Amino acid sequence: MWLLQSVRIADIREHDGEEVTIKGWLYNKRSSGGIHFLIIRDGTGFMQAVAVRGEIPDDQFELCNNLTQESSILVTGRIRADKRAAGGFEMSATGVGLVQLAEEYPITLKEHGVDFLLDHRHLWIRNPRQHAALLVRDEVISAAEDWLRSNGFVKIDAPILTPAACEGTTTLFETDYFGEKAYLSQSGQLYNEAACMAFGKVYCYGPTFRAEKSKTRRHLIEFWMIEPEMAYATQEDNMVIQEEFLSYIVQRCLAKRRQELITLERDLSKLECIVPPFPRLSYDEAVELLHGEGKEFEWGDDFGAPDEATISMKYDKPVFVTGYPTKVKAFYMQPDPDRPEIVKCSDLLAPEGYGEIIGSSERIHDLDLLAARMREHNLPEEAYGWYLDLRRYGSVPHSGFGLGIERTVAWITGSEHVREMIPFPRLINRIYP
């Protein structure tokens, strides 16, 4: 029986009427008289196999009686279309084989507290909702890289261990590097700037680390970013690229992960309208909007999560907020020549209150100005000598952005917390498992 063709549940519709084998695990089971209904998962999906007494060997039918949740099994049977079944197909089992009988599974089909589930994250990711969210995450990453590569971007891996800060010195993770101080990367951007001067358009993808003592639903200690950087690109060019990039990602998820989004009970109409152009709002206009909503906010401050939520709720698409005050943004951002108190930058806020998912700016390309900004921020010039060199040898206007994977996936899936958008979240109070 086990010599039959092994197929993935994701491909099951291609085998209607055929007898095949599925290699997987028992997610759930119910029995009625002489019938066992086995819900099987194999990593690509879930489906039901129906084992009827007399249609499989007696010893295998009895085996089904004893199967425990998450036991690893091989199930052979004939595939048939069934509109009532999840995914539209079901298996009539002809054989069931045991690989390993699981011990009593700690995560049952009842409700569990969040801490308990996070303690068992290594098992919780088998849950259909968690499984669906992580498949959407995979699609977001795949779509992003496909779009970038098809549009001429070269992948350049930025280092994780760095000698200096990118976003700010107060959120650095410090480590010993053979007697020298080193830090976990906050962003690959500075290295991307070097790479774009060699290749024109580049991107990096990897983990980033912020030692922020935050417990909000939008923050992780370790999160992942995709960061493109482009030579000879203005901030206006940058925003146009972001519109096209993000729209492609969303539409790709709708096309390839629709079932997963349905499993997550996502309102797909909220995503179907995500196409360029996106609305644009200056920082000044955003402040006026907040005042109009009765919010207390002082010009010159940075927006917090509640402020971003208030702004984004006014739109059914992501909205660019442009021209932030210089004092609340990073040292490398190009000042507006007409208003030096603001910089050429934007934050892209996802609708439905999800807030910032992309940060971007045009970078300073003048050596003297960059050196002056570094002094203002008390940054050690010796650690940034190589970065200053980029302004000495063929400097050009350039810009880039960083898309946060977990925040983007949370918005696309309609999820409440970023901790479920990464396989193993790192939070201020959690590093296990």
Sheet with 154-155: list strands edge to edge: 154-155, 201-209, 222-231, 398-404, 355-363, 345-350, 319-322, 280-282
Average pLDDT for the chain: 95
pLDDT at position 3 over 70? no
**By C-alpha distance, which of 99, 81, 104 is closest to 22?**
99
Q: Span 400-417, mean pLDDT?
A: 98
Superfamily of domain covering 9-100: Nucleic acid-binding proteins (2.40.50.140)
**Lowest model confidence (mean pLDDT) among 133-142, 212-221, 282-291:** 212-221
CA distances from 171 to 27, 57, 81, 209, 347 (A): 42, 62, 55, 8, 20
Q: How confident is the model at residue 19 (pLDDT cuts 50, 70, 90)?
A: very high
Q: Span 127-148, mean pLDDT?
A: 98
Q: Span 367-396, mean pLDDT?
A: 95
pLDDT at position 1 over 80? no
* Domain locations along the chain: 9-100, 121-421
pLDDT over 90, % of the chain: 92
Q: How confident is the model at residue 165 (pLDDT cuts 50, 70, 90)?
A: confident
Specify the pLDDT at position 407.
Answer: 98
Q: Span 289-296, mean pLDDT?
A: 97
The correct CATH number of 121-421 out of 3.40.640.10, 3.30.930.10, 2.30.29.30, 1.10.132.20 is 3.30.930.10
Q: How confident is the model at residue 168 (pLDDT cuts 50, 70, 90)?
A: low
**Lowest model confidence (mean pLDDT) among 166-175, 190-199, 277-286:** 166-175
Convert the pLDDT of each residue in 304-328 to its tens digit: 999 999 999 999 999 999 999 999 9
pLDDT at position 41 over 60? yes
Contact 93, 55 (CB under 8 A): yes
Q: Span 406-427, mean pLDDT?
A: 97
Specify the pLDDT at position 4.
Answer: 64
